[in-house]
């Protein structure tokens, strides 16, 4: 093993397999009053700086392209003999400008805070774009065919739009930073002098978007002061897990030396189930790695241990995927859903739709919709008793719709409204059990499945792990497949699972 490679020193497998005698049950811990009050202040989602700069790229490209096209339409008209050349050049130049602005770090948060400090850089990029156009026109011997006056107008108006937008945006960003709309929320794990030094270094960073929410440490007040650098110690690591289920936290920063490998692994084993970025502070560590091993908060070095899965633009792409295919699924399967609703109503008394409480993203409790497959007076909304083969609680229609998975079709509406994703770990009922033990008592790290939204279908299901869970091995294998999906997610992976689902559902051996 290369000792200079932090990703190998603290791999996911090492964290999962490390046995520190921790409580495998991972039962919920009550927060103290101060921690609960602080957590309640951070319930609201924030805007990610990555998302803001990404949207700015799209807006600036749109402004440059539209301004060029408007000037072209009014000054030259669409009847010119270069009817396709002008739009092509406008599109290409707008794209080149955005790429050059990105390369020169003009989309970094610090640059957005200080538009006047970057005036020269923006002017240089926009001028360089036109210099490239002029150079291309010279070598292609086509520059004389284009209007110089139009180029001059577009240069002036384009720069005014670029810089004017950034002046407006800088004011908005400052306001968002003050009121907490745009920030990255961090919790420090580990107290004492190391935590104080880290906090001081982070707070010294100019235009810092990190908001420290508090400190958690397993050590008592004699070894870890109750207040560090003005921030209260809100509890221990077990309480941190509950805190992160209430507050919208973006990052956990572990302030422990790399030399305390046993203690670091013990902490990571508890924390990796949370849907947050986990960073190990390298600020006060004596060990030094290659610069590429670090990420930075300002100039403070951090070792990336875990990244929040499906974050920022990935989450936007996945949500768009869910909406498009959910609407498609509702339209395609609406005749089947209508026929099923009628059959259920004719077969037995009770509601058509069955709502069940299940674990959602970050362990939140959600309502999952299904067609009712049991007699209404024998339904088990807690799923304490699993459905077995020839279960007398299941109706005649219920046996068929469970066998064919038609009972799951209403979950297209869950995916459309956002409580589920189309593809992801299948949500389990909150009291689902295997041999009278809750699932998280059987599988260490079970709650790591909830780092992403649960899905209507999933990687475990299309690989045969569906239906009754009558032994511990089945829930362990489901969890392994779910974690594989989370760690290897892509839109192509989602598409593969979605299109394989109907084929794999033909195998109804475990569905009853």
Residues 270 and 237 in one domain: yes
- Hey, how many other C-beta atoms are within 10 angstroms of the C-beta on 420? 27
Cα–Cα distance measured from residue 189 to residue 505, given in angstroms and rounded to the nearest whole number: 45
Whose tokens are 């951070």? That residue is 42
Beta bridge partners of 279: 253, 304
Residue 302 in any domain: the answer is yes
Residues 394 and 460 in one domain: yes
Cα–Cα distance measured from residue 239 to residue 226, given in angstroms and rounded to the nearest whole number: 15
Cα–Cα distance measured from residue 168 to residue 156, given in angstroms and rounded to the nearest whole number: 18
Cα–Cα distance measured from residue 498 to residue 491, given in angstroms and rounded to the nearest whole number: 10
Q: Tell me what pLDDT residue 441 has.
A: 64
Residues 56 and 198 in one domain: no
Total count of domains within the chain? 3
Beta bridge partners of 252: 187, 278
Cα–Cα distance measured from residue 462 to residue 466, given in angstroms and rounded to the nearest whole number: 8
In angstroms, the Cα distances linking 499 to 319, 462, 494, 496, 503 are 18, 10, 9, 5, 8
Cα–Cα distance measured from residue 281 to residue 285, given in angstroms and rounded to the nearest whole number: 8
Considering 146, 179, 212, which residue would you say is the last residue of a domain?
179
Below-70 pLDDT ranges, the chain:
1-29, 143, 257-261, 283-294, 298, 380-388, 431-442, 467-471, 506-512
Instruction: Give 85-110 as a DSSP string.
Output: HHHHHHHHHHHHHHHHHHHTTTTSHH
Residue 166 · residue 122 · CB < 8 Å: yes
Q: Tell me what pLDDT residue 264 has.
A: 79
Residue 509 in any domain: the answer is no
**Residues making up the chain, counted from first to last:** 512
Q: Residue 251 phi/psi, 5° resolution?
A: -150, 140
Residue 418 in any domain: the answer is yes
Considering 256, 286, 306, which residue would you say is the last residue of a domain?
306
Residues 337 and 419 in one domain: yes
Residues 40 and 63 in one domain: no
Residues 283 and 245 in one domain: yes
Report the CATH number at residue 20.
Answer: 3.40.50.20
Residues 61 and 81 in one domain: yes
Considering 255, 280, 306, which residue would you say is the last residue of a domain?
306
Whose tokens are 């400052």? That residue is 174
Cα–Cα distance measured from residue 280 to residue 12, given in angstroms and rounded to the nearest whole number: 14
Residue 1 in any domain: the answer is no
Residues 402 and 454 in one domain: yes
Residue 510 in any domain: the answer is no
Residues 144 and 206 in one domain: no
**Neighbouring residues of 178: CB distance < 8 A, sequence distance ≥ 6:** none
Residue 322 in any domain: the answer is yes
Predicted confidence (pLDDT) per residue in 395-434, tens digit: 888 888 888 888 889 999 999 999 999 999 988 777 666 5
Longest dimension (CA), the chain: 85
Cα–Cα distance measured from residue 96 to residue 102, given in angstroms and rounded to the nearest whole number: 10
Cα–Cα distance measured from residue 320 to residue 467, given in angstroms and rounded to the nearest whole number: 29
275, with CB counted inside 10 A (0-12, 13-18, 19+), is buried
Residues 190 and 167 in one domain: no
* Domain that includes residue 270, residue range: 6-46+183-306
Residue 258 in any domain: the answer is yes
Whose tokens are 């700069």? That residue is 53
Residues 159 and 96 in one domain: yes
Residues 354 and 476 in one domain: yes
Residue 299 · residue 205 · CB < 8 Å: yes
Closest CA to 470 of 398, 350, 388: 388
Residue 262 in any domain: the answer is yes
């Amino acid at each position: 093993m290369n000792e200079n490679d932090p990703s190998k020193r603290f791999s996911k497998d090492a964290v999962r397999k490390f046995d520190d005698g921790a409580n495998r049950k991972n039962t919920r811990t009550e927060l103290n009053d101060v921690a609960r009050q602080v957590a309640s202040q951070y319930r609201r989602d924030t805007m990610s700086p990555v998302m803001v700069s990404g949207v700015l790229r799209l807006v600036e490209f749109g402004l440059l392209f539209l301004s060029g096209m408007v000037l072209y339409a009014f000054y030259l008209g669409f009847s010119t003999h270069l009817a396709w050349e002008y739009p092509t050049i406008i599109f290409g130049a707008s794209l080149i400008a955005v790429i050059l602005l990105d390369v020169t770090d003009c989309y970094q948060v610090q640059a957005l805070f200080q538009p006047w400090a970057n005036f020269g850089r923006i002017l240089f990029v926009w001028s360089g774009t036109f210099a490239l156009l002029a150079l291309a026109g010279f070598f292609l011997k086509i520059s004389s065919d284009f209007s110089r006056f139009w180029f001059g107008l577009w240069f002036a108006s384009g720069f005014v739009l670029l810089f004017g937008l950034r002046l407006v945006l800088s004011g908005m960003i400052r306001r968002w930073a003050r009121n907490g709309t745009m920030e990255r929320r961090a919790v420090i794990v580990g107290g004492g002098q190391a935590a104080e030094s880290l906090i001081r270094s982070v707070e010294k960073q100019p235009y810092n978007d990190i908001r420290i929410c508090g400190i958690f440490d397993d050590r008592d007040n004699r070894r870890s002061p109750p207040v560090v650098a003005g921030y209260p110690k809100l509890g221990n690591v077990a309480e941190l897990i509950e805190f992160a289920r209430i507050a919208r936290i973006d990052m956990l920063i572990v302030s422990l030396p790399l030399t305390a490998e046993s203690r670091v692994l013990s902490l990571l084993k508890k924390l990796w189930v949370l849907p947050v970025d986990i960073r190990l502070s390298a600020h006060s560590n004596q060990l030094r790695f290659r610069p590429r091993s670090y990420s930075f908060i300002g100039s403070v070095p951090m070792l990336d241990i875990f990244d929040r899965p499906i974050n920022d633009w990935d989450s936007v792409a996945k949500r768009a995927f869910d909406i498009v295919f959910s609407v498609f699924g509702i339209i395609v399967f609406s005749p089947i859903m209508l026929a099923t609703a009628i059959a259920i109503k004719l077969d037995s008394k009770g509601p058509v739709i069955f709502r069940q409480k299940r674990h959602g993203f970050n362990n939140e409790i959600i309502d999952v919709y299904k067609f009712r497959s049991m007699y209404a007076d024998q339904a088990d909304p807690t799923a304490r008793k699993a459905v077995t083969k020839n279960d007398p609680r299941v109706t005649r229609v219920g046996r068929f719709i469970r066998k064919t998975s038609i009972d799951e079709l209403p979950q297209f509406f869950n995916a459309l409204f956002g409580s589920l994703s189309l593809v992801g770990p299948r949500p389990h009922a909150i009291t689902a059990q295997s041999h009278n033990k809750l699932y998280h008592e059987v599988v260490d790290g079970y709650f790591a499945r909830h780092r992403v939204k649960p899905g209507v279908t999933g990687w475990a299901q299309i690989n045969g792990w569906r239906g009754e869970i009558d032994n511990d091995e089945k829930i362990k294998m489901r969890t392994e497949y779910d974690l594989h999906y989370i760690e290897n997610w892509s839109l192509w992976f989602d598409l593969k699972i979605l299109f394989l689902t109907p084929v794999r559902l033909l195998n109804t051996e475990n569905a009853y």
